[in-house]
Chains A and B, each alone.
Chain A
Amino acid sequence: MRFFLDALAFIFDPASWAGAAGIGERLAQHLAITGLSVVLAAVIAVPLGLLIGHTGRGRAAVIGITGAARALPTFGVLTLFVLIGLNLGFGLSLPPVIVVLVVLAIPPLLAGSYAGVESVDRLTVDAARGQGMTEWQILTRVELPLALPLLAGGLRSATLQVVATATIAAYFAQGGLGRYLIEGLRTQDYTRAVIGALLVAALALVLDGALAVVQRLVVPRGVSRGPERSTRSTRRPSRTHGAIRTPVTEG
């Protein structure tokens, strides 16, 4: 327990937050690395996922990619890329790490955007098409808003994975909160390692909480309000329900 108290004392000491090696600077680095990687991954994965969801082509590829990504040990891939980067003369710089983090963040974002569009009721899409919407309008005005909660879920798990892996990246002399952890492990200073562990855990929890709120906020108002009640719904509840959620086969 002494380690924890010492670590907490360090974290709550304002002096620890200042300076180039202070908590503030390292937190900023951690957030910058995470933000950059997730944004780059989203630029690649979200349009692709939306396209796959809209056209229905390439489903097998998405399922294959997300499954394969799960088996790949991120720490190993990170080590490999950093080492290859060193051999290519990058030095211990950020690009190889960012590349791995982007690759890591793509599968959850791809799956989230694809599953989001896929989850939209075909009847809703057909109704939009029947009203004369173009495919582009269907994608941007119907499918995308309805896909947002699942898309935000993908963003959430991508962010968490990147925050966690950015911690390990400190092993390769990069910035971020992982520095405390790695320094503590190298010098066998357990208090310092616990400082890093607590800060990283706190950052992950705060980010996850914030994104959980975002996930709730992006639910379109029409969906969160529930199915619209029509006057006939008391007599024929299955029709109303069916029209909104499940396909009605009997016309």
Chain B
Amino acid sequence: MNWLWNNRDLVLGLLAEHAWLSAIPVLVGFAVSLPLGWIASRSRIARGILLTVFNVLYTIPALALFLVLPGILGTRILDDLNVIVALTIYAMAMMLRGAVDAFGSVSGDVLMSATSQGYSALARFWTVQLPLAGPVLLANLRVVSVSTVSLLSVAALIGSGGLGYLFTDGYARAFVDEIVVGIVFIVLLALVFDAILVLAGRALLPWNRRAPLPRRLIDAKSGA
């Protein structure tokens, strides 16, 4: 692991880049999915349209989406924005289904009693529905976060983004250690993100000390 010590500046720089390039899509994806998920949980038509559109986008392999986006957004190919937008789309696709499940999991009786107690629609959303949907939202956000951190490494193929550089560089130099360092740091970063989310969940959802495991074991974009 001499290599790691000698190149600590490079690795730490890539780690920082990897961290913010994956944090933005997770946060933006989560923030946008909440209102969309809420709308989709109330209207069957909106649900059909939103889930279908994002399912189709989700199906497109990451490398392909990275390359098609510059043509649509008018960005340069090496622009980090392509990667951020692509990962945000995937994050939204995963989070949206989770948000629909989460809001749908709040019992109708609870919502009706809130209404009968005089809650306005907005107050009911913020103080009743969102807190009750919290645990399921958190479980889904954790899946999104881990998948995004690992998926970002593919961006190295288009010369962008974070620790994936260690894979292309390590391969070009036929140097196994560098690749192992890349894998280990990506997994560690995913674990750190997960720990932050769990701690945030404890602080924000104190009534739910154990977040439920994500129900959907099968779907998560871990490939490319």
Residues of A within 8 A of B (CB): 1, 3-4, 62-63, 66-67, 69-77, 79-80, 82-84, 86-87, 104, 107-108, 111-112, 114-115, 150, 153-154, 157, 160-165, 167-168, 171-172, 178, 181-182, 184-185, 190, 193-194, 196-198, 200-201, 204-205, 208
With A and B bound together, what is the CA distance between A231 and B64 in angstroms? 56
Q: Check A161/B176 contact, CB under 8 A, given A82-B171, A83-B171, A205-B56.
A: no
- Pair A201/B60 contact, Cβ less than 8 Å: yes
Q: Check A4/B61 contact, CB under 8 A, given A70-B220, A76-B164, A87-B176.
A: no
- Pair B64/A201 contact, Cβ less than 8 Å: yes
What would be 10 A-B contacts, judged by CB atoms less than 8 Å apart? Answer: A71-B186, A74-B154, A75-B153, A108-B219, A163-B61, A168-B154, A182-B157, A190-B77, A197-B65, A201-B65
- Pair B183/A72 contact, Cβ less than 8 Å: yes
- Pair B150/A73 contact, Cβ less than 8 Å: yes
Interface size class of B (residues with CB under 8 A): 35 or more
With A and B bound together, what is the CA distance between A83 and B65 in angstroms? 27
Asked if B187 lies at the interface with its beta carbon under 8 angstroms from chain A, I say: yes
- Pair B183/A76 contact, Cβ less than 8 Å: yes
- Pair B64/A161 contact, Cβ less than 8 Å: no
In this complex, the member of B67, B182, B183 whose beta carbon has the largest number of chain A beta carbons within 10 angstroms is B67
Chain B residues near A82 (CB, 8 Å)? 171
Asked if B110 lies at the interface with its beta carbon under 8 angstroms from chain A, I say: no
- Pair B167/A76 contact, Cβ less than 8 Å: yes
- Choose one: B68, B143, B149, B164; the contact of A75 (CB below 8 Å): B164
Report the minimum CB–CB distance from A84 to chain B (whole Å): 7
Per the 8 Å Cβ criterion, residues 60-97 of B in contact with A are 60-65, 67-68, 70-71, 77
The A/B interface has a contact count, at CB < 8 Å, of 163
- Pair B146/A70 contact, Cβ less than 8 Å: yes
Beyond the given pairs A71-B190, A167-B64, 8 more chain A to chain B contacts, judged by CB atoms under 8 angstroms and listed by A's residue number, are A75-B156, A75-B167, A111-B218, A160-B223, A162-B223, A164-B223, A168-B224, A204-B60
Residues of B within 8 A of A (CB): 56, 59-65, 67-68, 70-71, 77, 143, 146-147, 149-151, 153-154, 156-159, 163-164, 166-168, 170-171, 174, 176, 179-180, 182-183, 186-187, 190-191, 213, 217-224
- Pair B64/A181 contact, Cβ less than 8 Å: yes
- Pair A167/B63 contact, Cβ less than 8 Å: yes
Report the minimum CB–CB distance from A10 to chain B (whole Å): 15
- Pair A164/B224 contact, Cβ less than 8 Å: yes
- Choose one: B170, B171, B222; the contact of A72 (CB below 8 Å): B222
Query: 5 closest pairs, A vs B, by CB?
Result: A161-B223, A164-B61, A111-B217, A197-B64, A73-B153
- Pair B182/A76 contact, Cβ less than 8 Å: yes
Report the minimum CB–CB distance from B191 to chain A (whole Å): 7
Report the minimum CB–CB distance from B68 to chain A (whole Å): 5
With A and B bound together, what is the CA distance between A181 and B77 in angstroms? 13
In this complex, the member of A62, A161, A184 whose beta carbon has the largest number of chain B beta carbons within 10 angstroms is A161
With A and B bound together, what is the CA distance between A114 and B183 in angstroms? 28
Q: Check A200/B59 contact, CB under 8 A, given A150-B218, A168-B224.
A: no
With A and B bound together, what is the CA distance between A176 and B199 in angstroms? 44
Chain B minimum-CB-distance residue to A178: B63
